[in-house]
Structure formats: C-alpha cells, structure tokens
Amino acid sequence: MQKAHNLKEYREELHETLENDFLRTSLDNFAIAYRTNRANIFKDIDVRGLIQEVAASKDAAAQNSEALFKEFKKNAEAAGVHVHFAKDGEEANRIITKIAKDADCKKIVKSKSMTAEETLLNHDLEDAGIEVTETDLGEWIIQLRHEGPSHMVMPAIHLSRYQVGDLFTEVTGKKQDTEIEKLVKVARRELRQKYVEADMGISGANFAIAETGGIGIVTNEGNARLVTTLPRVHVALMGIDKLLPNLRDALRILKVLPRNATVQNLTSYVTWITGNNECLAAEDGKKEIHYVVLDNGRSELIKDPVFSQINRCVRCGACANVCPVYRLVGGHKMGHIYIGAIGLILTYFFHGKEKAKNLVQNCINCEACKDVCAGGIDLPRLIKEVHARIQDEDGHPLPSLLLGKVLRNRKLFHTLLRTAKWGQKPVAEKDGFIRHLPMIFSKEHKFRALPTIAETPFRDWWKENRPQVDNPKYRVALFSGCVQDFVYPEQMQAAVDVFAANGVAMEFPEKQSCCGLPVQMMGETKASRDVAAQNLRAFEPDAYDYIVTLCASCAAHLKHNYPKLVMDKPSLKLRADAFSAKIIDYSSFVNDVLKVEAKDFTQTGEKATYHAPCHLCRGLDVHEAPRQLIEKSGLEYVECAEEEVCCGFGGTFSMKFPELSAELLKKKLDNVEATGADTLLTDCPGCIMQLRGGLKRRGSKVQVKHVAEVMSKNKK
C-alpha cells in the first residue's frame, strides 16, 4: 500500500525495494519467463483480434451497464439470490457485515476477491467481531503477514519460501520445512478445517451474466468451489465492471484472461453459479446467496469520454507482468491496492488523489502494458491523463510549468538551447560529453554521462548544405525533434545523405519545434496541445509524400497523439489526420519505401547488435525494418537479449527517477555487452543519449549509433 506523502518519500520507498535482492531476482525471472511463455500460448490464436473483440464487448457492456444490472438482478432474484447495490466501498462493507450478522455468521472463509481488497472488507468484518480467513494460498499468506497483495494474480510474489516457512512455523506452532511442496500441503490441511467451521463464504466474481443472473469464477486452487459450497451463506462481491450481457461474452474473455494472466490455456477451475444451490448445512437445504454489486466511482468512469475504457480491464495483471518499473520495485510500490499500470489509474478513481499523486509519475511510458492489455486499454495515455488531472487540481510544479512555458515559445526555446552551447563551454569535453554534471544534478545522475549541445544545430547546417535532388522519386519533410536538431545533428545529416542518394527531395520546415512529448509526460496538457498546433501549422502535409523522423518517440507522438490533442479544433483535426497519416520512421522509410539493397553498401561484416526503442517496436509496431537495414548496410546483426525492453530513458522519467533509470540501463547494457558486438544500433536519439552515456560511464568499447549513421558511412 502506498503511504508516501510526497515524491521524495516515495523515492525513498522505491530505494528500499531496489535493495531487496530476492524480489529483484524473482521478478526478473518471472518477467523473462512470462514473455516467452505468453508468445507460445497465443501462437495459434489471433490475439489482436481477440483483444479487439473483448474491448468491443466490454465497451458495449459499459454503455449499457444500468440495463444490464437490472436484467442481472431480475434473473438472479428469480433464481433465489438476493442482489444488493452498493454505491461505495463503505456501503458494500456495511451490507456484507449486516448479512453476516443477520444470518448469525461467526466465521467466514474467503476466496480471492480484488474488489474486497478495494473496499478493505476484512477490516470491517473483523471490527464486527467476525473471524475472516483468506483461502487462496497467496492471499492467506499476506493476510497472516498483514500485508496487501503485490500482484493481482500472484498476491505473495514478493515473498520467499523461507519467509513463508517461518510464517507457517508461527501459525502451526510446529517447525516447518521450506520445501514449497510441503508448505502447500500444510496450508491445505490448515485451511481445510477453516472451511469446515465457516458459516459464510465470500467470493469475488469474474463474470456477472445478465441473461442468466449467474456468476463465473476463475481459480486454480479450487478454493472458490469450496467457499461457495460448504458454508450455508455465500456472498459474492463484484464491481459493475463485471456485468456482461451473455455467456458468450464471458467465454470470450475466458479465452484471453488465463492466457494473459498466468499463461494457461484455462485455469484448473471455472465455476458457474446460477441461483441458490443445494446446501445441506442450511435448514431448508438451500444456500442463502447474496450478490453485492459495487459502483465506487465506476459509473462515473464509464461516462467519462477518456477514461471509460478502464471498464475493459479483466484483472489479468498482465500490465504488471511486462512493466519494467514493476519488475524493479514490485507491486507494493507500483500501486496502492490495484497494482501495475491499471493500478496507477484505478488508485486515483477508487482511492483518491492523495494515494495516486506519486504513483502516477512512476510510468516510463514504454507502452509494454498497452501492448499486452487483454482489453486493449491505452494505459500509458490514461496514466498521463491522471497525472495531468492531479496537477490541474493541485497546481503544477515549477519545473513542469517552466518547461511548458518554454516549449510553447519556439524562439525562446531555441535561443535557450543556443545559449546553453556557450554556457557549457567550461565543462564540455572534446569527446562530446559534459565533464562534470552541473550542480542541479545530484549524484544519482552519475550513472550516465550527458552529451554537449552541438556546435552547429541541424537547422543551421541545412540552410547551407541542403542537397539538390533532380527528378525526385519522393518528396519528404524532415522532422528532427530537438535532440537531433541541437545535440546530434550528425544523425540527421546521415539521413539526408542516404535520402539524397535515393532520389528523395527534402524540406525542413523551419518553424517546427519540439514534438511536445516531454510536456505531455509531465502532465502539461495545455502546453502539449499548443506545441502540437504549432508543429501542425509548420508543416503542409499535402506537399509531401511522407514526413520522416529519425526519433521513434517523436514519430509515435506525432502519429498517435496529435489527432487526439487537437480533437476539439475541427480545422486543425483534419490537418492532424493528414499529418499523422504521412508520419513514418527512418527505418520503415528506407527499408520498406526506398527498398535499399545490400549491393549499394560496403559489406564490413562487423558485428552489431540492436536496441529496439519502445516507441518504435510498440509505438509504431515496427520490428523487422531496422534489423534488415543493419544487415543490408553491411554489418552482421547479433540479437541482444530483451531487445525490445526499455533502456530506462523515458525522457523526463530519467530525471525524476534516476535510480530506476540507472537500473533499467544497467540491465540493458549488460545484455548488450554479452552479445560481444562492438556496435550498438538504435532508432531514437533519446535512447542513444541514455545508452551512450551509460557505456561511457562504464568505460565500454561499444559504440552507439543511429541506424542512419552506419547506412551513410557504408554507402558505396
């Protein structure tokens, strides 16, 4: 559970978990195994199509939730079930406590329910003098330790067998082994007597099916079947997001949920309960069943044009499984009660601004979660939206306000960059790095060297050197982004060289500025919109076949976010649509459009490995083009482990969370060095800044270059 009051305290908490070796190792192993296993389990399935179907059916259910609830209630009641509606967690807990009191229940067994975690149900029941026992093994363990879950599907993933062994020794009063098989058996027997004694069972529900008035529960251990069978009273607590019109929709979600969560084709048990079943412990032989359907802000969310898609979440936890930040710090720090990417968002809506304000900044925007989400939710975008909303409510911090102000004024911004070139003179080394970091960077930033501002920005070089291309095959506009314009102009120059040789006529619209992603990342929505409008006005999309950018982050932002940012300005929206349709990244343009061939490059056979920028592989779904170009340009491509995992740059993220950025970079560079390649290529100047700076600090011999640079160098 997140307790920090400010970002500083939050960072201290993060620091503690970074030192937890067990956690780090187990999350690492998990993340790597998950990626491979998931690819295998979906190999014969059209996963994109399935996710789209799930998204569409969940969206429809959200829009129809009131009617669905009515139908669900009617059918459930006709089958002998009591249905309650709770507007918030407090009311849900009150209803459930009253059910327990009225039915004279003293002991409760629970099957795992995230919704009950959300409402902190156990506290209220215990305050009412009722004994509550969690029966899911992981939940029981964390209950005994008085902790919250650290993963939605594997709540005790942060604990070792030794910790569990000690805990069980305490619980049973007998010395316990640390063999997992044995610990599981002990839990089985200890919990069996709890089922026998309980008068009431509480479960969650994965599906609430309107057409039958029944529920579906997905488990592996089978505890849900015992919890819903043995005690004479059963209460199922579920959010309105679990409502579905029919069984077909539930079966569809069932195709993606276990595969995405634990990489299983199906869990051991799926339990479908409809109506008040036989219960031989009840006086009349019928179980007393209550469904408590919880709103707690969900109906507001459903009405929100931006956030309604949150309703698609099926609680598979996959967003945590792939999150590089979660992998470093675990669920207790990457969430409040709900964890991972979805947790950052839900925390704001279910548990409030205070709990969410620090968490929500801890997203590196690598889009791994969006890529894997069972409901196709645009999680990174929503996280940024929450961040922006909190800043709008709380006031914007000075650095983000300043950056916003600067970026909105292109001339001021570029003047500042030009001035910085002179300001850095005393600390600049000849090798292009700054010798001593300025005072404002504390020691946490020492993990990488920072580059100096270039002598001549690309825009000035362009004025003097723009090539003349006769009879062009294509007309393109170049979008440089600030880093390549002012720090690495040689990357742009290399691209211009290859383009000119392939019959491409180029324009460099001078009024272009920063793409605006940095201010968007800092929650400065207004500034981000203004910058977008400025760039849209600078380009005349109809005049070019393509708008090419060598920065993956700029490309993804220009392509996907610009039309959204100007949605409320009809004339600009049309321009943004045309603009975004023309955006293409360097590798796709050169490989797929220009179709360069190996014979045009000197084959050196030098070994090169690759880092796939997040916004290229996931943001633009480009995978093969850069790797093919590496081979075509005469190098031998050697695959790097975890090639598509974030390098830890994340723009402003690396300034805000240097410790996390450093750890992500360390992993990345270890993998790079293990390939034995001398050259590391990539497609994004931000990644280059991070990777080059880190390798420089390590004293490594590996050279980092943009793919464009080797192409220009080896061009015959």
- Binding status of residue 189 toward another protein by CB under 8 A: yes
- Binding status of residue 432 toward another protein by CB under 8 A: no
Least distance between another protein and beta carbon 138 (Å): 4
| Closest CA relative to residue 533, chosen from 506, 557, 565 | 565
The helix (H) or strand (E) run that includes residue 109 is strand 107-110
Least distance between another protein and beta carbon 61 (Å): 18
The count of residues in the chain is: 716
Least distance between another protein and beta carbon 133 (Å): 12
Q: How far apart are CA 348 and CA 356, in angstroms?
A: 5
| Closest CA relative to residue 243, chosen from 218, 206, 276 | 206
| Closest CA relative to residue 663, chosen from 700, 690, 627, 628 | 690
> 596, 628 in Cβ contact below 8 A?
no
Selected from 50, 273, 334, 345, the binder of another protein by CB under 8 A is: 273
Strand partners, 476: 506, 546
Alpha carbon of 49 to those of 53, 95, 277, 304, 622: distances in Å? 6, 40, 37, 25, 19
Q: What is the footprint of another protein within residues 507-566 (CB under 8 A)?
A: none
CA 40 to chain centroid: 21
**Of the two residues 229 and 480, which places its CB atom closer to another protein in the complex?**
229
Q: What is the footprint of another protein within residues 205-264 (CB under 8 A)?
A: 211-214, 220-223, 225-226, 228-230, 247-248, 251, 254-255, 262, 264
Number of residues counted as binding another protein (CB under 8 A): 79
Q: How far apart are CA 311 and CA 679, in angstroms?
A: 45
What is the C-alpha radius of gyration for the chain, rounded to an integer number of angstroms?
28
Q: What is the footprint of another protein within residues 573-602 (CB under 8 A)?
A: none
Find the part of the chain contacting another protein (CB under 8 A) among 72-80, 82-90, 392-400, 463-471. Answer: 72-80
Tell me the backbone φ, ψ of residue 201, rounded to 5 degrees. -115, 135
Find the part of the chain contacting another protein (CB under 8 A) among 267-275, 440-448, 484-492, 705-713. Answer: 267-275
| Closest CA relative to residue 274, chosen from 313, 247, 312, 237 | 247
- Binding status of residue 369 toward another protein by CB under 8 A: no
**Beta-strand relationship, 214-219 and 207-209:** antiparallel
Find the part of the chain contacting another protein (CB under 8 A) among 277-285, 334-342, 481-489, 548-556. Answer: 277-285
Least distance between another protein and beta carbon 255 (Å): 8
Q: How far apart are CA 438 and CA 454, in angstroms?
A: 18
Helix (H, G, I), strand (E, B) or coil at 235: strand
Least distance between another protein and beta carbon 252 (Å): 9
Least distance between another protein and beta carbon 170 (Å): 11
**Of the two residues 148 and 214, which places its CB atom closer to another protein in the complex?**
214
> 547, 539 in Cβ contact below 8 A?
yes
Find the part of the chain contacting another protein (CB under 8 A) among 134-142, 399-407, 527-535, 543-551. Answer: 134-142
**How many other CB atoms sit within 10 Å of the CB of residue 700?**
17
Q: How far apart are CA 410 and CA 577, in angstroms?
A: 23
Least distance between another protein and beta carbon 73 (Å): 14
- Binding status of residue 280 toward another protein by CB under 8 A: yes
**Of the two residues 268 and 465, which places its CB atom closer to another protein in the complex?**
268
Per-position x/- string for 80-99, each x denoting binding to another protein as judged by CB under 8 A, each - no binding: x-------------------
- DSSP-derived letter for residue 82 is E
Least distance between another protein and beta carbon 244 (Å): 13
Selected from 89, 138, 148, 523, the binder of another protein by CB under 8 A is: 138
Q: How far apart are CA 33 and CA 26, in angstroms?
A: 11
Which tokens is 302 given?
């459903």
- Binding status of residue 42 toward another protein by CB under 8 A: no
Least distance between another protein and beta carbon 254 (Å): 7
Q: How far apart are CA 27 and CA 9, in angstroms?
A: 23
Least distance between another protein and beta carbon 240 (Å): 21
- Binding status of residue 265 toward another protein by CB under 8 A: yes
Which tokens is 432 given?
């292009």
Q: What is the footprint of another protein within residues 146-185 (CB under 8 A)?
A: 154-157, 159-161, 164, 171-176, 180-185
> 636, 662 in Cβ contact below 8 A?
no
Least distance between another protein and beta carbon 369 (Å): 20
**Of the two residues 177 and 545, which places its CB atom closer to another protein in the complex?**
177
Selected from 42, 269, 433, 441, the binder of another protein by CB under 8 A is: 269
> 394, 357 in Cβ contact below 8 A?
yes
Least distance between another protein and beta carbon 156 (Å): 6
**Of the two residues 254 and 708, which places its CB atom closer to another protein in the complex?**
254
- Relative orientation angle of helices 137-144 and 180-197, to the nearest 10 degrees: 80
- Binding status of residue 20 toward another protein by CB under 8 A: no
Per-position x/- string for 283-322, each x denoting binding to another protein as judged by CB under 8 A, each - no binding: ---x------------------------------------
Q: What is the footprint of another protein within residues 620-649 (CB under 8 A)?
A: none
At which residue do the structure tokens 């999350």 appear? 27
Least distance between another protein and beta carbon 272 (Å): 4
Cβ-based neighbours of 184, under 8 Å, separated by 6 or more: 137
